[in-house]
């Protein structure tokens, strides 16, 4: 492995790695918008400009392959001046939507505006106004004023989802994103474009205006939508689940998850008719009881039947461990081999990316 110097720190890199990739592996973040580790390099945001000794011009860290002995400065006066200029350019037509934007609190543009911006606009002309509240499909809303033309969403659809549904139209400061004529953004993974959008241009219709990120807490969990078991984060406010987002796991789901798992699998948790504990039917009505009473009643009812007359039905939404314990309980305690669980995916609904049949 070769080595190069980044801001005084020695960093090892693998052959073919770019400067930004090698830096990320050791926990050093070079500011960027358009670069994403699982997408191709576009190099169009120019925020990752760095100064490399013995090179005549600034280079973009996302497309410059690291070389042994290279000395790189990401925070030199020259690099910071260029980054500040790029940020000023990006903010010229950007609206002051932070107080109402769903991305506020986890927005890269917001973060970099604090750390790499002059803090005061010199722009006195009227801002360009673009289409707002454009429905791209069943789940995604687009706000053209906020878009910084990073092309992440376009590359995701082309390269990951395998559906060419988005493209740039117009040029210069009028450029915007549209769906192709007669098409919607409706591939099974469309909501991933909301996750990778570095600003608030693409938002989820399901989560839109529901909460601010700093009002929520999040817990690492697993999606139960299919047997893939995508790693996710569950975001909660006041004991109500508001959204699921993918959590990176290179061996399972990379940075992605499907729309069905994201939107539908947690709705029952918030449902008013959700069973929230053991109940007994008394005089035709279900009455909530404690676990001891429920277990005693269940045991007495089971004794009435022969072992062969008893069956246990598990759930495909449960973990492997849960269903294993149910089967073990049925065999060792109830003395029956009658166990099963219904599939929650129709045969043939799996795909080549993440959705996996039971």
pLDDT tens across 51-105, in order? 999 999 999 999 999 999 999 999 999 999 999 999 999 998 899 889 999 999 9
Q: Kindly report the CA angle at 47 between 163 and 175, in degrees rounded to 5?
A: 50
pLDDT of 117 reads 75
Residue 118 lies in a domain: no
Residue 26 lies in a domain: yes
Examine the domain organization and report whether 100 and 68 are in the same domain: no
Examine the domain organization and report whether 174 and 79 are in the same domain: no
Do 148 and 201 form a contact (C-beta atoms < 8 A)? yes
Examine the domain organization and report whether 48 and 101 are in the same domain: no
For residue 152, the 8-state DSSP code is H
In angstroms, rounded to a whole number, what is the distance separating the alpha carbons of residues 21 and 12? 11
pLDDT of 327 reads 93
Residue 294 lies in a domain: yes
Domain boundary among 156, 186, 209: 209
Return the CATH number at 13. Answer: 3.10.20.740
Find all residues with CB under 8 Å of 223, minimum gap 6, and list them: 229, 230, 231, 232, 244, 257, 261, 262, 265
Do 155 and 43 form a contact (C-beta atoms < 8 A)? no
Residue 331 lies in a domain: yes
Q: Does residue 123 have a pLDDT over 90?
A: no
* Residue ranges making up the domain that contains 70: 2-91
Examine the domain organization and report whether 104 and 76 are in the same domain: no
- What are the CA-CA distances from residue 148 to residues 5, 159, 196 (Å)? 31, 20, 13
In this structure, the strands spanning 202-204 and 140-142 are antiparallel
Residue with tokens 């469309």: 190
pLDDT of 318 reads 81
Nearest to 185 by CA among 138, 132, 130, 152: 138
Q: Does residue 336 have a pLDDT over 80?
A: yes
Half-sphere exposure of 75 (CA within 13 A, CB side): 10
Residue 317 lies in a domain: yes
Q: Count of CB atoms within 10 A of residue 45's CB?
A: 23
Q: Does residue 118 have a pLDDT over 80?
A: no
Examine the domain organization and report whether 77 and 153 are in the same domain: no
| H/E segment holding residue 59 | strand 59-60
Residue 228 lies in a domain: no
Residue 189 lies in a domain: yes
Residue 196 lies in a domain: yes
Domain boundary among 191, 209, 227: 209
Domain boundary among 159, 191, 209: 209
Task: Count structural domains, the chain.
Answer: 3
Q: Which residues of 324-351 are buried (b: 16+ CB within 10 A; e: fewer)?
A: eebbeebeeebebeebebeeebeeeebe
pLDDT tens, position by position, 126-167: 888 899 999 999 999 999 999 999 999 999 999 999 999 999
């Amino acid at each position: 492995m070769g080595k190069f110097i980044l801001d005084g720190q020695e960093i090892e890199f693998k052959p073919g790695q770019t400067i930004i990739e090698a830096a990320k592996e050791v926990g050093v973040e070079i500011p960027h918008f358009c670069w994403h580790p699982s997408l191709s390099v576009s190099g169009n945001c120019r925020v990752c400009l760095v100064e490399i000794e013995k090179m005549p011009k600034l280079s973009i860290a996302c497309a410059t392959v690291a070389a042994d002995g290279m000395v790189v400065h990401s925070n030199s006066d020259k690099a910071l001046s260029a980054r500040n200029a790029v940020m000023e350019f990006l903010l010229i037509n950007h609206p002051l939507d932070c107080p109402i934007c769903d991305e506020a609190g986890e927005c890269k543009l917001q973060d970099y505006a604090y750390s790499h911006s002059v803090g005061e606009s010199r722009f006195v002309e009227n801002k360009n106004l673009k289409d707002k509240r454009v429905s791209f499909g069943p789940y995604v809303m687009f706000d053209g004023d906020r878009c910084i033309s990073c092309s992440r969403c376009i590359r995701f659809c082309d390269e990951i989802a395998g559906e060419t549904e988005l493209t740039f139209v117009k040029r210069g400061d009028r450029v915007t994103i549209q769906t192709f004529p007669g098409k919607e953004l409706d591939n099974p993974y469309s909501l991933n474009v909301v996750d990778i959008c570095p600003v608030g241009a693409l938002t989820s219709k399901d989560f839109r205006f529901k909460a601010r990120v700093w009002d929520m807490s999040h817990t690492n969990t697993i999606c139960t939508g299919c047997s893939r078991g995508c790693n996710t984060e569950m975001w909660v406010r006041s004991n109500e689940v508001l959204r699921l987002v993918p959590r990176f796991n290179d061996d399972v789901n990379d940075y992605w998850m499907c729309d069905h798992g994201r939107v539908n699998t947690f709705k029952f948790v918030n449902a008013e008719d959700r069973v929230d504990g053991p109940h007994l039917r008394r005089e035709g009505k279900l009455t909530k009881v404690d676990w001891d009473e429920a277990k005693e009643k269940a045991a007495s009812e089971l004794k009435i039947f022969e072992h062969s007359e008893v069956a246990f039905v598990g759930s495909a939404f449960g973990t492997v461990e849960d269903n294993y314990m149910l089967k073990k309980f049925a065999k060792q305690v109830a003395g029956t081999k009658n166990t099963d669980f219904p599939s929650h995916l129709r045969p043939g609904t799996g795909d080549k990316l993440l959705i996996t049949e039971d």
